[in-house]
Chain A
Amino acid sequence: MSDRIVQYSPSGRAGAIKGFLSKFLGYGGAQLGLLCLVFFIVLAAVPNILVGPLETAGTATGDFLAPPSGQHLLGTDEVGRDVLNMVVHGARISLTIALLATVISLILGTTIGMTAGYYGGRVDVWLMRLTDFFFVMPSFVLALVITPVVLEVMGRGREILGFRPSLFVILVVIGMTSWAFVARVVRSQTLSLKERTFIDRARVAGSSNFSIMVRHILPNLVPQIAANGALVVAGAIYVETSLSFLGLGDPLQPSWGTLLSLAQRAGAASAGAWWYLGAPGLCALTVSLSFVLIGNALDDTFNPRRRVIP
């Protein structure tokens, strides 16, 4: 009883966070992942200060496919744009798409998983069959089929929520196709949580189902959602890169995937322009790797069963 009171007092919460951080940062992978992530977030936050405005084919000044030099640290592309400039600007688009897609998929996955787990019965059966569909269907293939169709249906016209339509479509499609895993994990955790006494107590005290879910179950799900969320981001970056690589991205707002696609179409690989393929490829790899590292470290921190026994 006294434990519980202590745990919810402000100083106790600070202590818990401190304990979590020291454990989390104890993992080498987490440190490395966070470091890379901070680096790329800085790139994404202030690209204009770091490398100037985004170069276009119209404003390009460099030579065609020039190798890295003092003037162009990462060389130039096939129309003379600075690759460093595009990679830094691409960071913003790639990271934004990946993070927003993850938010969509977490909201979807948590809502569906928690509803299914909490209500059980027929609701559970139907929601889980829906989840199974998205679970067994490889999300990349699904995204590959949905994206052109959605693009064609709503491809025309102006920006949606500040995004060009083709980027918005990719964002939504990734979010829509990667939530099944989260829903499964959240449901199983909810099943276990709803049998606990504090839920019974809340129900006896007269809380509604909605308030029990949001105020009592959801806070206890945060560790699972956070750990899985980091892994979903890694997947989202991968899917975004692949979709853009196949030419479904927006050629006017290059993400890393679009850059790879442009490089491939220009024949950069056979022309020996390693910097053009390598720079965006390495960035996509680093960012998704750091999210995986962070996700694993979070999982190890929260999950006693996966904790390394000293």
Chain B
Amino acid sequence: MNELEISRRAIVKAMLVGSAAPWIMSSRAFASSCDDHIVRVASMSAPDSMNPFATWSSFVPIVYTYDFLVGVDAQRHSDRKGLAKSWSVAEDSLTWTFKIWPGMKWSDGEPATARDAAFTYNYLRDSIGKPDELNVGWNNTSGLENVESITALDDETLQIVTKKPNRWPIDNTTMIVPEHIWKGISYTNARSSFPNDPPLVGTGPMVLEEFQQGQFARFTPNPYFRTGQPKIAGLIIQFFTTADPIAQGLKSGNLDYGAGLTAAQAADLSKDPNIEVTEASVEQRNYLAFNTLSGKGAGSTKALQDPAFRDAIGYAIDQKAIVDRALRGHGDPGIGLVMPVATDHYSDLSDIRRHFNLAEAGRRLDAAGYRDTNGDGIREDKEGKSFQLELIAGTTSGTIELPIAAVQLIAGWLGQIGVPVSVTQLDSGALGARFATPESGGGGWDLLVTGGWLSASPTDLLIIGSSKSVGGSNRSYWTNKEFDKLVAEVEVTVDVAKSKELVDRAVRLIYTEAPYIMLCYPSMVDAHRKDCFQDWGLGTASSWSYFPYDRLRPV
């Protein structure tokens, strides 16, 4: 009787295994072998829609299918162009002329011309002011309000005329879409319901063939790519929420490339001879922000509104120790608003820089009137109240996580100069609610440790001090008329040297006022396997475009 039961169970098990096996074996996403020449990539993103007009969160994977006109990579690397082969601006700094690669085709074989680019921009621009304005996704209207006209002079020439001088025509990251697919889509649908189902039609090296939300995206090579069909047979991007499975996948050979690794994983993976760990400087900056609000949403003490107090705190932050201890060298110590990767505007501010010195911080606090009068080791503010600052910390989505050790270090240093700190960690949603404007329920905290990752354009560099972005990117609520004036001037400056000078003035102004103490510029740490593919280029996959998947070759 017993034996019969066991065998019955065994039969059921065998049936289950038998029915699952062909599914597992046929699923190409899980197979691992160099022979199929498919690149397997891990990503920590959570894309939803494949429609670039409807979502912000799908940069990966659709960036592999679409081209920008110019974008970030093309301005930094001569071998990483977008749709435009070359570009120039006229003497008046208003008229931009773009030369599109000749003879380009969309992945469905239709010719890709300057008219498609003109269509994409005009499609966006014409939606301005309508109830269904296209401002909810990666392709959006921001910046187009300053554009006078966008015209295709012929199939290979695009002309953009701006109202005021600005660099939007080359800095924008609008994904150029094919006119023959999008011309019939209404704005209402483009904003929301149009799913842009795979296979996507684009000019990028990879064609998105299949997308399973929360699981994977599968690509095939674009046979009409402008430099010829890519050498790899396909690309599969798997989506993860933590770095652990990515590191494991790289070790076991299930993945060829993974980004966003922690320092410990990088150290462990670099011992593997088949894996090369690389790191790239990116545009992220992590900072300590002070809540400078007075009135509604103000912090627990008025000292936070005093530049002298903030300046003194700046002497108690050892950026080098944060990079060495918390990031383990995978980053650069924080200085000013400009991160080193933004070479056009970077300055090391050596003449006005604060150097870590707890005694100096204490002296400056004493001088500013924040003394420990009752001898309990804790300083009092000017109202006679002992300091007890609330520090909130968290990672906003899409940025590299700052190890919590950095917050421990800061709390330790501030405790040593008599300013005790309590720490609350928040997830990205709760954090966003706290640094929102007081009108929308934000504020009430004292210190904030977080980071942001925008482009290296001068406007984005200065955005955290601009009064226009209070509650968004400006998380200290700090405003300054002179700073705003510089921001407005930078916005209408095309010349790089002049823009550098303006940015430098603004950076120095905000550095001395100290609403932010820059902590570090973390690097993106990633790893790729060397046994299946070569020509990884810089090693690190571009965070602004599809490189190096256009040139990757099987070994």
A and B, one complex? yes
- For B404, give its contact among A58, A80, A251 (CB under 8 Å): A251
A245-282 interface bits toward B, Cβ cutoff 8 Å, 1 = contact, 0 = none: 00110111000000000101111111111000000000
Closest 7 CB pairs of A and B: A270-B247, A58-B412, A267-B262, A271-B268, A57-B408, A271-B264, A267-B265
Query: What are 10 sample pairs from A and B whose C-beta atoms fall under 8 A apart?
Result: A56-B408, A57-B409, A57-B412, A155-B424, A156-B444, A250-B423, A266-B263, A271-B264, A271-B267, A271-B268
B173-197 interface bits toward A, Cβ cutoff 8 Å, 1 = contact, 0 = none: 0000000000000000000000000
B425 interface hit (Cβ, 8 Å) = yes
Expressed in whole angstroms, the minimum distance between the Cβ of B214 and any Cβ of chain A is 19
- For A148, give its contact among B244, B403, B430 (CB under 8 Å): B430
With A59-B412, A252-B411 known, 13 other A-B pairs at CB within 8 A are A56-B412, A57-B325, A64-B267, A78-B263, A79-B403, A79-B408, A148-B426, A156-B444, A158-B422, A166-B424, A251-B423, A270-B251, A271-B267
Nearest CB in chain A to that of B407: its residue: A251
A157 interface hit (Cβ, 8 Å) = yes
A positions within 8 Å CB-CB of B: 56-60, 64-65, 78-80, 148, 151-152, 155-159, 164-166, 247-248, 250-252, 262, 264-273
Expressed in whole angstroms, the minimum distance between the Cβ of B435 and any Cβ of chain A is 13
Q: Are A155 and B408 in contact (CB under 8 A)?
A: no
B398-429 interface bits toward A, Cβ cutoff 8 Å, 1 = contact, 0 = none: 00010111111101110000000011111100
Q: What are the residues of chain B within 8 A of A57 when measuring CB–CB?
A: 325-326, 405-406, 408-409, 412
Q: What are the residues of chain A within 8 A of B261 when measuring CB–CB?
A: 267
Near A by CB (< 8 A), chain B positions 240-270 give: 242-248, 251, 261-265, 267-268
Q: Are A65 and B264 in contact (CB under 8 A)?
A: yes
Q: What are the residues of chain B within 8 A of A65 when measuring CB–CB?
A: 264, 267
Q: What are the residues of chain A within 8 A of B401 when measuring CB–CB?
A: 265
Considering the chains assembled together, what is the distance between the CA atoms of A271 and B426 in angstroms? 26
Q: What are the residues of chain A within 8 A of B388 when measuring CB–CB?
A: 157-158
Q: Are A266 and B412 in contact (CB under 8 A)?
A: no
Q: Are B422 and A264 in contact (CB under 8 A)?
A: no
Nearest CB in chain B to that of A149: its residue: B430
Interface size on B, residues (CB 8 A): 46
B390 interface hit (Cβ, 8 Å) = yes
B300 interface hit (Cβ, 8 Å) = yes
Q: What are the residues of chain B within 8 A of A78 when measuring CB–CB?
A: 262-264, 328, 403, 405
Expressed in whole angstroms, the minimum distance between the Cβ of B12 and any Cβ of chain A is 31
Q: Are A64 and B264 in contact (CB under 8 A)?
A: yes
Q: Are A271 and B427 in contact (CB under 8 A)?
A: no
Nearest CB in chain B to that of A59: its residue: B412
Considering the chains assembled together, what is the distance between the CA atoms of A64 and B264 in angstroms? 8
- For A157, give its contact among B243, B325, B390, B423 (CB under 8 Å): B390
- For A164, give its contact among B242, B263, B265, B422 (CB under 8 Å): B422
Q: What are the residues of chain B within 8 A of A56 when measuring CB–CB?
A: 408-409, 412
Q: Are A60 and B412 in contact (CB under 8 A)?
A: no
Q: What are the residues of chain A within 8 A of B390 when measuring CB–CB?
A: 155-157
Q: Are B403 and A265 in contact (CB under 8 A)?
A: yes
Expressed in whole angstroms, the minimum distance between the Cβ of A136 and any Cβ of chain B is 27
Q: Are A151 and B424 in contact (CB under 8 A)?
A: yes
Q: What are the residues of chain A within 8 A of B262 when measuring CB–CB?
A: 78, 265-267, 271
Q: What are the residues of chain A within 8 A of B264 when measuring CB–CB?
A: 64-65, 78, 266-268, 271, 273
Q: What are the residues of chain A within 8 A of B422 when measuring CB–CB?
A: 156-159, 164-166, 252
Q: Are A270 and B412 in contact (CB under 8 A)?
A: no
Considering the chains assembled together, what is the distance between the CA atoms of A270 and B444 in angstroms? 39
B487-502 interface bits toward A, Cβ cutoff 8 Å, 1 = contact, 0 = none: 0000000000000000
Scoring A58, A262, A272 by chain B CB atoms within 10 A of each residue's CB, the highest score goes to A58
Nearest CB in chain B to that of A79: its residue: B405
B544 interface hit (Cβ, 8 Å) = no
Q: What are the residues of chain A within 8 A of B533 when measuring CB–CB?
A: none
Expressed in whole angstroms, the minimum distance between the Cβ of B451 and any Cβ of chain A is 15
Nearest CB in chain B to that of A148: its residue: B430
Q: What are the residues of chain B within 8 A of A270 when measuring CB–CB?
A: 243-248, 251, 265, 268
Q: Are B404 and A262 in contact (CB under 8 A)?
A: yes
Q: Are B247 and A58 in contact (CB under 8 A)?
A: no
Q: What are the residues of chain A within 8 A of B424 when measuring CB–CB?
A: 151, 155, 165-166
Q: Are A264 and B244 in contact (CB under 8 A)?
A: yes
Expressed in whole angstroms, the minimum distance between the Cβ of B262 and any Cβ of chain A is 4
Q: What are the residues of chain B within 8 A of A155 when measuring CB–CB?
A: 390, 392, 424
Considering the chains assembled together, what is the distance between the CA atoms of A155 and B421 in angstroms? 12
Considering the chains assembled together, what is the distance between the CA atoms of A78 and B248 in angstroms? 18
Considering the chains assembled together, what is the distance between the CA atoms of A156 and B392 in angstroms? 9
Expressed in whole angstroms, the minimum distance between the Cβ of A27 and any Cβ of chain B is 33
Scoring A152, A155, A262, A273 by chain B CB atoms within 10 A of each residue's CB, the highest score goes to A155
Considering the chains assembled together, what is the distance between the CA atoms of A180 and B244 in angstroms? 37
Considering the chains assembled together, what is the distance between the CA atoms of A60 and B446 in angstroms? 27
Near A by CB (< 8 A), chain B positions 286-323 give: 300, 321
Q: What are the residues of chain B within 8 A of A58 when measuring CB–CB?
A: 321, 408-409, 412-413
Q: Are A267 and B244 in contact (CB under 8 A)?
A: yes
Q: Are A265 and B247 in contact (CB under 8 A)?
A: no
Q: Are B408 and A252 in contact (CB under 8 A)?
A: yes
Near A by CB (< 8 A), chain B positions 447-491 give: none
Q: What are the residues of chain A within 8 A of B325 when measuring CB–CB?
A: 57, 60, 79-80
Nearest CB in chain A to that of B263: its residue: A78
Considering the chains assembled together, what is the distance between the CA atoms of A76 and B423 in angstroms? 23
Considering the chains assembled together, what is the distance between the CA atoms of A202 and B76 in angstroms? 90
